[in-house]
Structure 1
Amino acid sequence: MNDDVTPDTAPPAEPAPPAPKGRARRVVLAVLPAVLVLGAVGGAAAYTKVTVDSADRTVTTEVWGGGAHKPAKDPAGDVGRGRADTELSKLLLPVPKGYRLGPDMGDYGNDDEISGKKATAQMKESGRGISGKQRRERDRRIDRLHLQGIAQRSYTSDDSDLTVEIQIVKMKDKRAVHDLYGFQTELMDTYGDFRAGPKIEGHKKARCFREPVRTKVKLDGLSCLAYDGELFLTVDAYGTKPFSASDVADLVKDQLDHIESPGEYV
């Protein structure tokens, strides 16, 4: 034994990370891989929230289409309000007055749709670095989602001080939609110091979360989750301070109302 090595010179042990609570404690390790990749493909808000502390959005983003687009009687009659040529795209909120189509969303456009087959394949492909047994279990969980398709659209305010991204994920299994909503809202409650967001009037199956307080950044953000039958909705918004969470809540309400009655929105 070397007398020069004493307990006093040993490196201090690193503090253990806090354990997740409640249901998240039981399922986070098993379900998290699918949730992470769903976020990469379809905007799962728990892990696609705006990282305003590291992102540089001081430069105006070039977007498709410009100028204000006033509401039209038929959304399909004005391409500036968004596509409406498929079952899912008709459910996306047409670009309202005071907004225009926003920036591209990741590898996709600002008004796009992904088939369930393609989304499932992308989710599985992104996990190829995982060990065989874990990958097979993860792929089985992805298959159980029974993805039917993902529609997404981004919106930027005419003042260029707010950008909103909306994704609608359609799944075959309504229970899977409900479970995903419960899992992700619990993750948001458990991690990241999120603040309570505004309530969405008339929609109890929706929750919003404000970004953690960051005093050294000029941007703020809000993420909302909701579900309706076989549809899972995520809304991610970011903008300059002072940030109007109520404006985003109004858009979320309009979007959910539009899902319920897509032919009545004007």
Structure 2
Amino acid sequence: MTTQVTTPDESADTPGPAAPLSPAAPGRARRVIRTALPVVLVIAAVGGAAAYTSSTVDSADHSVRTVLWQEPERKPGKDPAGDVARGRASTELSKLLLPVPIGYRLGPDIGEMGNDGEQSGSKAAAAVKESARGLAGKERRDYEKRIDELRIEGTAVRSYVPDGNDLLVETQIMRMKDKKAVRNLYNVRSGLFETIGIFRQGPKIQGHTRNAKCFLLRKDSEGGEDPIVSMECMAYDGELSISVSASGTVPFDRAAVAELLKDQLNHITSPGEYV
């Protein structure tokens, strides 16, 4: 199935330098981050590997070809429960995750949840609260209160990589009881990405321009050429908060990542058509 995905710039991923921030912009960004610190931490916990990828690349040996995921020498044995190569679908939440697309396979683990895992509401909430290790006292209590207010019911994650090992995609779906909280979280997350100045707009998601956005990390301000590009996408659908994080080598196929997010959102609406 071929679908046209529009992007702000259809050329190769080589945009010019970012426009300098106005003198007031840094102060405004700092104020937004301070007042929304708990939500910033939620962003890190709910989805987003851009900062981790960037710091990892900074210390990497750039003289050798980058491989995001090395295929194991031995293929896993046949699962006695059946073919799970496209991901498990044994629970209501795992069924909502997009099955591993053709040409991809399950990727590396996403923390304790593995590459195709799920957590209950209490465990999922505890995992998000754990991201507040750097806070203490009142700030931590306020943060944990906000997490409790989200009323998280569960989280499911899945990672996959293409046969060429040049892209890593991590998808996470979090279900909350309060649809308004889901929408507010999306608005705050996307607003922060637009405000802090280190991200630029990514491709638009056809058919989902009102409930999905993607962002790309801006290039090194000093003109450095990182071998890895990171793209962060966020979306919501009713009581579901969806995050897609992708890291890939240059040239980075951002349209392909946008297509995966579109398929993920369509799969939630019509699962049978995207299995």
TM-score normalised to structure 1 length = 0.79
Q: Distance in 2 between matches of 1:126 and 1:222?
A: 21
How far off is 1:170 after superposition? Answer: 0.7
Larger radius of gyration: 1
Equivalent residue for 2:85, pick from 80, 93, 110 = 80
Q: Which amino acid aligns with 1:245?
A: R
**Matched residue SS, 1:253:** helix
Counterpart of 2:244 in structure 1 is 235
How far off is 1:221 after superposition? Answer: 1.7
Equivalent residue for 2:54, pick from 51, 56, 69 = 51
Pairing of 1:183-262 with structure 2 (within 5 A): 183-204=188-209, 205-214=211-220, 215-262=224-271
* 2:176 counterpart of 1:171: yes
Is residue 219–residue 225 contact of structure 2 (8 Å, CA) maintained in 1? no
Equivalent residue for 2:137, pick from 132, 136, 139 = 132
Change (3 A) 1:240 1:100: same
Is residue 69–residue 166 contact of structure 2 (8 Å, CA) maintained in 1? no
Q: Percent identity?
A: 52
Counterpart of 1:12 in structure 2 is none
Q: Distance in 2 between matches of 1:109 and 1:55?
A: 25
Pairing of 1:154-169 with structure 2 (within 5 A): 154-169=159-174
How far off is 1:37 after superposition? Answer: 4.3
Change (3 A) 1:66 1:190: farther
**Matched residue SS, 2:271:** coil
**Matched residue SS, 1:202:** coil
Counterpart of 1:20 in structure 2 is 28
Is residue 124–residue 154 contact of structure 2 (8 Å, CA) maintained in 1? yes
**Matched residue SS, 2:159:** strand
How far off is 1:30 after superposition? Answer: 4.1
Counterpart of 2:16 in structure 1 is none
Deviates more, 1:165-174 or 1:102-111: 102-111
Q: Distance in 2 between matches of 1:79 and 1:160?
A: 20
Is residue 38–residue 146 contact of structure 2 (8 Å, CA) maintained in 1? no
Change (3 A) 1:166 1:129: closer
Q: Which amino acid aligns with 1:226?
A: A
Change (3 A) 1:152 1:48: farther
Unaligned runs of at least 5 residues, structure 1:
1-14, 68-75
Is residue 43–residue 189 contact of structure 2 (8 Å, CA) maintained in 1? no
How far off is 1:262 after superposition? Answer: 1.1
Counterpart of 2:104 in structure 1 is 99
Change (3 A) 1:174 1:195: same
Q: Distance in 2 between matches of 1:82 and 1:255?
A: 13
Q: CA RMSD in A?
A: 2.8
Q: Deviations over 1:43-69 (max 9, x none)?
A: 1x39767326426493553468988xx
Is residue 116–residue 158 contact of structure 2 (8 Å, CA) maintained in 1? yes
Q: Distance in 1 between matches of 2:108 and 2:247?
A: 12
How far off is 1:237 after superposition? Answer: 0.6
Equivalent residue for 1:61, pick from 65, 69, 74 = 69
TM-score normalised to structure 2 length = 0.77
Counterpart of 2:8 in structure 1 is none
